[in-house]
């Protein structure tokens, strides 16, 4: 088949698709349909070297080395299941780490509340969002000390 693309003429031969058994018949919305499925599905494998968060990987399946394959197959299933079944103990945090995590979560919650209030206020007043993003507490991530004292949860809520 002769094709032209942007002034360049070339011959294109579409790949021949071998169809499998055409005796399978089904119905779709009351109409009889003969299924024509290809024998071998053509999927082009990529040869890209990809990186995600500085971890390199390839999208193709690695070929098993003959020296490694017997070792993998020789491992008894009971040993693998015993290794998987052992519980992994979680790291126990000391009091200072737990207090620090609680403080960081509390600080993050206050920042989210403050930003939500500022966004709602800007919408009511009519200030553009780009203008509202110039405030110091949004840019640097700081929470003003007076905001923590006046907008924090009350002590009565904890009892």
pLDDT digits (tens, 9 = 90+) for 36-46: 777 776 666 66
Mean pLDDT of the chain: 73
Q: Is residue 102 part of a domain?
A: yes
3-state secondary structure of 122: helix
| pLDDT band (50, 70, 90) for residue 107 | confident
Assess if residue 115 is contained within a domain: yes
What average pLDDT score do residues 26-52 get? 76
Residue 132 near residue 122, CB atoms below 8 Å = yes
Measure CA of the first residue to CA of the last residue in the chain; give whole Å. Answer: 81
Total number of domains constituting the chain: 1
Q: Determine, yes or no, domain membership for 99.
A: yes
Q: What is the pLDDT of residue 44?
A: 67
Beta bridge partners of 49: 58
Distance, in Å, from the CA atom of 27 to the CA atom of 37, rounded to the nearest integer, reads: 15
Considering the domain boundaries, does residue 139 fall inside one?
yes
User: Is residue 139 pLDDT above 50, yes or no?
Assistant: no
34 vs 27: CA distance, rounded Å: 8
* Residue 137 resides in a domain: yes
Q: Is 128 exposed, middle or buried (0-12, 13-18, 19+ CB in 10 A)?
A: exposed
Domain assignment of residue 142, given as a range: 95-152
Structural domain contains residue 107: yes
Tokens 């009892």 identify what position? 159
Torsions phi, psi for 144 (to 5 deg) = -65, 135
Q: Residue 127: inside a domain, yes or no? A: yes
| Helix extents (H) in 30-94 | 69-74, 77-85
Question: Residue 130 falls within a domain, yes or no?
Answer: yes
């Amino acid at each position: 088949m002769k094709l032209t693309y942007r002034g360049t003429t070339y011959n294109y031969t579409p790949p021949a698709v071998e169809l499998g058994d055409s005796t399978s018949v089904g119905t779709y919305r009351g109409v009889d349909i003969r299924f024509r499925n290809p024998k071998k599905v053509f999927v082009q494998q990529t040869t890209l070297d990809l990186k995600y968060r500085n971890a390199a990987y390839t999208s193709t399946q690695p070929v098993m080395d003959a020296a490694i394959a017997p070792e993998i197959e020789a491992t008894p299933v009971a040993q693998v299941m015993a290794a998987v079944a052992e519980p992994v103990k979680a790291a126990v945090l000391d009091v200072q780490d737990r207090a620090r995590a609680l403080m960081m979560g509390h600080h993050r919650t206050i920042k989210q509340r403050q930003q939500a209030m500022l966004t709602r206020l800007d919408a009511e007043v009519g200030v553009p969002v780009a203008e509202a993003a110039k405030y110091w507490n949004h840019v640097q991530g700081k929470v003003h000390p007076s905001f923590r004292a006046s907008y924090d949860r009350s002590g009565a809520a904890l009892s």
